[in-house]
Amino acid sequence: MKTLRFYGLTTLILFLGHGVVIGQSKQSTIKIEDFDDAPIISKHIYGHFAEHLGRCIYEGFYVGDNSMIPNTEGVRNDIIDALKELQIPNLRWPGGCFADTYHWKDGIGPQENRPTIVNTWWGGVTEDNSFGTHNFLNLCEVLDTEPYLSGNVGSGTVQELADWVQYTNFKGKSPMSDLRRENGRDEPWTVKYWGIGNEAWGCGGNMRPEYYADIYKKYVTFMSDADVEGGLYKIASGASNDDYNWTEVLMKNIPKKMLQGVALHHYSVIDWSAKGSDVDFTEDLYFKTMKESWLMEELIVKHTAIMDKYDKEKQVDLIVDEWGGWYEVAEGTNPGFLYQQNTMRDAMIAGMNLNIFNNHADRVKMANLAQTVNVLQAVILTDKEKMILTPTYHVMNMYKVHQDAKLIPLSFESPKYTYEGESLPAVNASASMDDSGKMHISLVNIDAHNENMVSIDLNALGIREVTGRILASDKLQDHNTFDNPNKIEPKDYKDFTFKKGVLEVELPPFSVVVLEGIK
């Protein structure tokens, strides 16, 4: 039996597909480790992603200011309220693959003068550019969230990206700031976070890492830090999954002074040619999806090890700016729109991955769930005037207590979830202490059948009172619908005992629990 220590470089990779046997016990004892030198869990781990894809922007976020659906400058008020409740820290836009075909100047100025664009990546639909830079950045102000702009490197130019930076950020007089003022915005928005292309190894240009590293350096050379406190935060298009050579080449060839973050993309996909149903899935597909989701731990460990080799001071951050579940589209929907339902399986993916990110807070400083509305593992689904919150939304709402809190490292021996001779850790967890002294522990039990018991000694933290919330349902395939929008939602959780500083917790099958401890 191996001990899992959820902090820094963990050993979870030993459990993924290597025949390691974990103990048979369904009882686990979690130990609170010393956290004097533990990192802060960046709130930006809880970021989101809004691409011009399917019904994410149009018919999702944006209905136009003439819509009968209540809106603010064309953006649905119910979506604004839902995202405010989540306290989303950042929002990535306009892609994704779409970013490297998007020319930002087509989306500014009077709407009647804007040219159309064919979205060649997602469904071949024609868009009218009615949602552009002003719409997005004004929305971020309303949400009190940081914009994260993905620049066009694939089909754009250095000058085009440099102009976008100046348009959004420069306070003084310049061609681009003058143009911004002509379009009705006097003060800049001050956009700090910039992605230099997207998936340069694929839809962003099918580049070799050596070529992209040179392109990256060329682009960022001409991006001005003017009027941005601390300078721009520039994020390189990073690896897909286990392409460790990509990370190695970027870390080796790009000077750290030019690089603040390196991206990583990983989706919990079992087979790109046969991804399985979003709702009518078997336990076999569920187990395989959980295995792919657990792979995030191994990927972070190995990519981080490469980064450590070239950056021992941890000056460059790992940015997981695309993650989540990806299945076949919902029956009867456009295959290019990537609309899928969101079940308890997605809640497991969300809880597990957020715990992994929290536990690697020393290097993972931002992550972006794909995607916010109506696409892939969305937190919100819409149908005309109707809107529902998904199980993934509820997990992120429960977990928001970890934002900018101090990580509490945990160690414990997880029971196993076994299916047809293969095993995975059934329980994963993360914990933190916020500025007010409140402790939070998030626990996920991915076992499809068995409850698991967890014991946690909280005496070292001086905890005197514990409360909890749980997300659970009867079936893994359960989901919220427009006819039954509240089938799955968090409830008060009381299936625990707390005596003499020791917390005994009962975790139902496929459930997410967040506990709060008060001194």
Q: What is the CATH number of the domain that holds 186?
A: 3.20.20.80
Helix, strand, coil share of the chain (percent; to 5): 30, 25, 45
Q: Where are the beta strands (DSSP E) in 156-260?
A: 193-196, 233-240
Q: Both 450 and 397 in a single domain?
A: no
Amino acid at 269: V
Given the residues 51, 292, 297, 322, the one annotated as active site:
322
Q: Supply the pTM of this predicted model.
A: 0.94
Mean pLDDT, residues 419-429 = 96
Q: Both 436 and 369 in a single domain?
A: no
Taking the CA atoms of 280, 284, 290 and 293 in sequence, report the sign of the dihedral they define: negative
Mean pLDDT, residues 498-502 = 93
Q: Does residue 313 form part of some domain?
A: yes
**pLDDT of res. 363:** 98
CATH number at residue 469: 2.60.40.1180
With a cut of 60, say whether residue 11 has pLDDT above it.
no
Other C-beta atoms within 10 Å of 40: how many? 14
Q: Does residue 278 form part of some domain?
A: yes
Q: Which residues pair with 49 in a beta bridge?
A: 92, 370
Q: Both 413 and 399 in a single domain?
A: no
Split into its structural domains, the chain has a count of 2
Q: Both 508 and 366 in a single domain?
A: no
Q: Both 445 and 486 in a single domain?
A: yes
- How far apart CA 517 and CA 515 sit, in angstroms, is 7
Whole-number Cα distances in Å, 287 to 325, 426, 476, 482? 13, 11, 11, 28
Given the residues 51, 127, 199, 297, the one annotated as active site:
199
- How far apart CA 368 and CA 44 sit, in angstroms, is 8
The per-residue pLDDT for range 70-111, each reduced to its tens digit, is 999 999 999 999 999 999 999 999 999 999 999 999 999 999
SS (HEC) of 224-278: CCCCCCCCCEEEEEEEECCCHHHHHHHHHHCCHHHCCEEEEEEEECCCCCCCCCC
> Residue holding tokens 């401890």?
517
Q: Both 387 and 430 in a single domain?
A: no
Domain final residue pick, 365, 386, 403: 403
> Residue holding tokens 């937190």?
379
Residues constituting the chain: 519
Q: Both 168 and 49 in a single domain?
A: yes
| Strand, coil or helix: 266 | strand
Domain final residue pick, 360, 385, 403: 403
Read off the pLDDT band of 27 (50, 70, 90): confident
Mean per-residue pLDDT over the chain, rounded: 94
- Look up 322 and say whether it is catalytic: yes
Domain final residue pick, 373, 403, 433: 403
Q: Where are the beta strands (DSSP E) in 37-143?
A: 47-49, 71-72, 75-76, 90-93, 117-119, 125-127
Q: Both 356 and 486 in a single domain?
A: no
Q: Both 371 and 446 in a single domain?
A: no
Q: Does residue 15 form part of some domain?
A: no
| Inter-residue contact 372 to 94 (CB < 8 Å) | no
Q: Does residue 5 form part of some domain?
A: no
Mean pLDDT, residues 499-508 = 94
* Share above pLDDT 70 across residues of the chain, in percent, rounded to a whole number: 95
- Look up 489 and say whether it is catalytic: no
Please give the structure tokens belonging to residue 386: 């109707």
| Inter-residue contact 507 to 454 (CB < 8 Å) | yes
Q: Does residue 22 form part of some domain?
A: no
User: Domain containing 456: what range?
Assistant: 28-35+409-518
Q: Does residue 419 form part of some domain?
A: yes
Which of these ranges, 2-6, 146-150, 219-223, has the smallest mean pLDDT? Answer: 2-6
Q: Does residue 341 form part of some domain?
A: yes
